Structure 1
Amino acid sequence: MSASITLAGESQIALKQSLQQPLIVTQFIFAKVPGLDPTKPLDRAAGKPPAEQIVHVYTIPEKNAGYVNPNQVVYSAQLGSDIGDWDFNWVGLEDADGILFAASSVPLQQKRRNIPPEQIGNNVTRNFLVAFDGAMQLTGVKIDASTWQHDFTVRLAGIDERQRLAIRNIYGRACFIGDGLKFEKSQTGYQLHPGLAFLEGIRVDIAQPMIIPDAVPNGKISLDVCLQRQMNDVVANWRVVFGEQREYTDPAGASHYIIPLADFESPTVVDLRSTQPITGSLIEYLAARNGDYQGLRARSTTKADVGLGNLPNAISDDPATNSSEIVASTAALNKLQKQVGDSMTGMVTGFAISWAPEGWLKCNGAAVSRTTYARLFAWLGTHYGAGDGSTTFNLPDMRGLFPRGWDDGRGLDPGRAFGAYQDMMLQSHNHGASAGEVGNHLHAAWTDAQGEHSHAAWTDVQGNHQHTAPRAQNNNVGGGSPNFTTANLQNGTTAPTDWAGAHSHNVGIGAAGAHGHNVGIDWAGAHSHAISVAAAGGAETRPRNLSLLFCIKY
């Protein structure tokens, strides 16, 4: 990974160069810094993390320092599986004076020690490439890095070249996207318009206008494009050149390609770019491309090529013809499809799915656009509701209902308006009921035995009164009331007794013994008894059914 030389490191470089002393980098420092964002540049003015954040210090062996070129040196830390366990997201280089010379942040990494069989350790190698003028001489590194590290230079160069050739096969020698890299007049002179181009398989992307600072001579204006090594990468490099130019290979072995941009005869500019109006991905652009291309096979395809040699050169827009000598055109097929679709507009049917298929709307009474569904509106109008009265209309609502054929004058459902809702109903009817006749009969009855008992009796109170006695034949009535006289008896009249006063007479009733009382019940004659019938069923009348989604064709 590349390291950012700290401000202290830059000062150390200047100091060592002025004192003509070597700059000796001695150790790697690994740390876990909370909240560190590896996508953001490090603060070059910051020092080492606090001691509690440093997880490991690695002393660099002399053989682990090598040079790439006179201005680039690399330091390598090789951590075996016997080291760990710790995590890190920050790595720094420290020199012999204890100065933090360079630093870099990385996504959180794990270093684990091998503890068989519980844990498998890992090996970690971290390389720091630092670059500054005279780096090899100042650090005293004398080992070629290729002797202790794999040299992928040749391998990567081959990969870069294969990728360039693959892109060239797609875009050709030069493909400018729209106005990208167009030579044009600017407010202060001339410039290249920002944009994208693929030149000899090299992607050239200019984000801002590329100002041409010098006076522009008359003649051809071209772009010198190459893939050039920069630090430890290979990137596209380009510059504007004037006049007739030849392609060449520079001393570093990079091939330079000369791509014409314009012919300039002040103030006239003739654009020489080969452009394409590509605004998205290439595959989408090609798929959507239309036009008449002379090179396409279709231009010269004959009937014999596709096995239609016996057909005449005739097409028809009449969808009604079945002639085997007529080839239907797309217009005819579209017309036929429209006729089929139009004939179904307003059709209602049930679907065994819970959503409306394409070309259909749910029959749910919703208000829909009169313009979007103009044909359906022309057929239905506001029969099922006027919507908002101006821009929408309502669909029929079939939710929870059974469809029924419109009577249309037959008389089975008289007086019923077309498309009108009808509530549930049961046809008026009677239920017959009867009970079996049992004829003249008696119903048995009885009283319970009460055991031996007596019945209380009484006489009513008569008030103060006299008792009369019959006339006697004898003059002497023994034991009679003193109120009786001989004269009364002789006269044959009743003789009053003395006043008894208000009183009652006790009545005694003898015990009847344990007995029962017979009860007689009259004959009822032949008769029947009323029967009550209990209600049955639920909240509605319905046959066996299956719920479907009713939709209407628009």
Structure 2
Amino acid sequence: MSQVITNAFETYWQDCLTDQVPVVLDEVVLADIPDLDIAAPIDPDTGLPPAAQIVHRHPVDQRGRINNNAVAYSIVLDTTVGNFSFNAMYLVNKASGTVGMIVYKGRETKTRTDPATGTTGNSLVKSMLMEYEQAATATVTMVEAGTWQIDYSARLRGMDEDLRLQALRLFGHDSFVDSGFKLVNEAGSYRLQPGIGYVGGLRVELTASARIEPGAKPVDVWLDVHRAGTLLSTWANGISFTLAADLTDYVDAQGYPHFVAKLATINADGSVVDKRRLASHRHHWSEIDGAYFPKGSPLPDVDMGPIWHDDYHSWMTWQVFNQNGASYTGYASTLIGSLLLDTQPLPRQGYIKSGVQNLSRTLYAALRGWAIHHGIMVAPGAWQAGTIQVADNADGETFRLFDVRGQFLRALDDGRGIDPSRTFGSSQRGTIVTGDPTAELPGVTSAIGDGNYSKQEFLRRISADPIAKSDYQGVWITQIPSNAGTDLDSLNHSYGASRPNNTALLPTIKF
């Protein structure tokens, strides 16, 4: 290879200095010169070759400063340029035709993409480095060549692919918004409705309805999407429509990946079956962290990772309940069996009232398996209201939940020593309070009451709950010193169970 700065440029440069105008070299001329000796020195008086040898003219795409005495000029030849071969490059001032620099090199071929012949074109970036005193100043070139000589195409393609994969994760292989790309039969005329869709992670938009000519029926209608562009152009997502029995993603002859989606099936009688997958935020949870199942969907019978199910209104995980004779393996809510004191009078979605007596062992198999696994399933005769106990019913098909309605909830002592005799899930009776409305108590200067009230009125006045004597067998009350050992019944109105101020909420259980 040989190169030279021409004498014509020396003259042009001096004229620019005299006129105080920038040096402008704005075009590269490519030529194919027969029998060229690329090693021989180039005569600095050489100009452009004959027109027959010139194969391409291209504007300078970029110039950059190497240092103050060197400037690089580059051209980008994309896949639309060709076909030709060249072995000589001329850097010129287009307006005057002045040749500033000449480079002789080995012959190189430039091919363009031709879909008709299946030819895939090549892309070339060619640079010419021109060195002379104060070159950067003379050409007013301030941008460092390093900022544009780097090939950013790989990085840009990587960014495009990263965005495509994010959309693919969110929307799945294909999904459409509302009526976008929906095929309708309008009195025998088949048209795709305008709108938006995502195919293969690429966003596509149909701005106007598109007519489809089905021909022989039945047939499927497919949307074909690919992304293409040149090195210097804007890349865009192209669409086409195909009628075929079956179609899969593919790569075309130019190397562009194509992604396809079935839009509709046109039956033999002309009716249309919409095959689009409609987009919604929930619909794509299956491609984010788990799977979304709308109401009425059966639970999957294999572990798919975390899922959301609208019937349970809960995140669910694959769980195994196999202790204490339990034999449940499958999906269950992460909160299964938990108690919610609710501020609404009816259970929320995914919850059931405490104390339900006839839950299906099949429909609520996970809840029953959870109860067995954790040792709170008891024999039917041992089940007691107020305890955390679950029991099967005698019918062999249903079971009952624990019933904590009307119960105060208290934290388990669990070794602290405040309430040491309590066991997990056990029920505890209220504390009896007694009183005589005519009696005086220490520190009280007058009687609590001023009459002999009925039991109902007495309990109301002291805000005590009525109790059943049978719950307290063997208990004797000493009301006053002169009446030691009085039986509860003889007091009639002077005993009840104490309670704190409280608010009644609905106890519900997560299934």
Q: Normalised by the size of structure 2, how large is the TM-score?
A: 0.34
Larger radius of gyration: 1
More strand, by proportion: 2
